[in-house]
Amino acid sequence: MTIQRVRVPEIGESVSEGTITAWLVNIGDLVAAGQPLFELSTDKIDSEIPSPIAGRLFEITAASGAHVKVGDDVAAIDLGEVPTSAESTSHTMGPDSAPLASGDLNASETIAQGLSRDSTRSKRWTAPLPPSPESRPLRWNQEPDPANSVGAVSARDSFEPFTRVRARTAEVMAASISTIPHVLSMVEVDYLHIRQTRQSWSTAPRPTPLAFAVVAVVRALGRFPRLNASVTSGGLELHAAINIAIAVETDVGLMAPVIKGADALSVDGVASAILRLSEAARAGRLTPDDLAGATFTITNNGSAGSLLTTPLVTPPQVAALSTDRITDRPTVIDLAGEQGLAIRPLGNLALCWDHRAIGGAEAARFLVEVKTSLEGADWIGHA
């Protein structure tokens, strides 16, 4: 008997741990190389972890529900018996629905396919939120207690368990509001120049106002590095890279894929990145790396009609910006040295920031810098 240990592989640049949610084979089953062995749940992403070798599953050392880290021992495979395709418990399927041979698929490719499939699954998890002090917790598979009038669900009510993404979002946002001293600052932006620039834009697709806002924010972060930082023990870690997370609403909940190295991108480059990541999020094709490394977050609630949104900061970041609806409204402008009324496309930028990291004056100057960039926009180009 020749035994080889199976360990949790690296599945993403920033993924170091996860939870085994299910074993897809049983002890004694024959498995093929590349065949999914178990499901691993990480932050917002599920993936099927493939067998690195062919043989018979000899031992499982980390059962379903176990919390594991990259490199942890989870199983053992006996190499003495190599299965034929007909003997294996299941097969990893290629694009043409034919079983893949042992040497046709490496571990990272199998994981990527698993991420694409699993991120759109309809699994439901209970949210990791503290129970109300007035009532006992009501779990998704538990009948309500009629004697508990606070926690009970009436016959006319229905219950919708959280998706895993929604549960994780609830957990992070609860931690955010309980640990970060939030402050809101806001400015109003005249988008006339942006509107005129978009109308004359020569490349397709034409960038949205969000793309211009991202570039303006990136430029301002270069001058205000304490807003592109993380709170650590006793101070701030100022990040050299500027990685912008863009909030995207999907069928399973809110995702925030990251535009890496946004300071090196033009407006066209940012627009392409937003489109690519948004489509991948809604189609369930995001990888762990797509969700990792954010240093600043922007949410575009204006696309849903919001005029003012107070975003919550995602720890350990120190700020989050909401771009809200642009509407034509009357405003006072300067006309040849005299004040007059004009109809302009106006929209709010709302910045929530961590008062441990910066003060009100710095937040205000940052917002004015973004506003000035968007209203002047002499930096805009296609290069």
Q: 127-184, pLDDT tens digit by residue? A: 333 333 343 333 333 444 555 555 555 568 898 888 878 888 888 899 999 999 999 9
Written as six digits, the tokens of 29 are: 């089953």
322 belongs to a structural domain: yes
In angstroms, the CA 56 to CA 190 distance is 66
Least confident of 105-114, 182-191, 216-225: 105-114
Whether residue 228 has pLDDT greater than 90: yes
In whole angstroms, how large is the CA radius of gyration of the chain? 25
Q: Check which CATH number belongs to the domain holding 331 and give it.
A: 3.30.559.10
Specify the pairing of strand 338-354 against strand 182-190.
Answer: antiparallel
Task: Extract the tokens encoding 79.
Answer: 């190499």
What is the C-alpha separation between 8 and 15, in angstroms, rounded? 11
- Specify whether the CB–CB gap between 138 and 151 falls below 8 A: yes
Write the pLDDT tens digit of every residue in 286-324. Answer: 888 899 999 999 999 998 999 999 999 999 999 999 999
- Clarify whether residues 111 and 203 are in a common domain: no
Looking at the fold, whether 178 and 290 belong to one and the same domain comes out as yes
Same domain, 85 and 186: no
Q: Are residue 104 and residue 193 in the same domain, yes or no? A: no
Three-state SS for 269? helix
Sign for the CA dihedral angle at 33, 37, 42, 47 comes to positive
Host domain of residue 62: 3-118
Q: Is residue 155 part of a domain?
A: no
Q: Which residues pair with 199 in a beta bridge?
A: none
CA distance 38 to 114: 11
In a domain, 363, yes or no: yes
Both 372 and 234 in a single domain?
Answer: yes
Residues 176 and 99 grouped into a single domain: no
The CB-based long-range contact list for 105-109 (8 Å cut-off, 24+ gap) reads 105/34, 105/50, 106/34, 107/9, 107/34, 107/49, 107/50, 107/52, 108/11
If asked whether residues 303 and 198 sit together in one domain, one would say: yes
Task: Examine the domain organization and report whether 209 and 325 are in the same domain.
Answer: yes
129 found inside a domain? no
Convert the pLDDT of each residue in 335-367 to its tens digit.
777 888 999 999 999 999 999 999 999 999 999
Residues 227, 359 within the same domain: yes
Quote the CA–CA distance of 53 and 196 in Å, as a whole number: 59
Which pair of structure tokens corresponds to residue 24? 């897809």
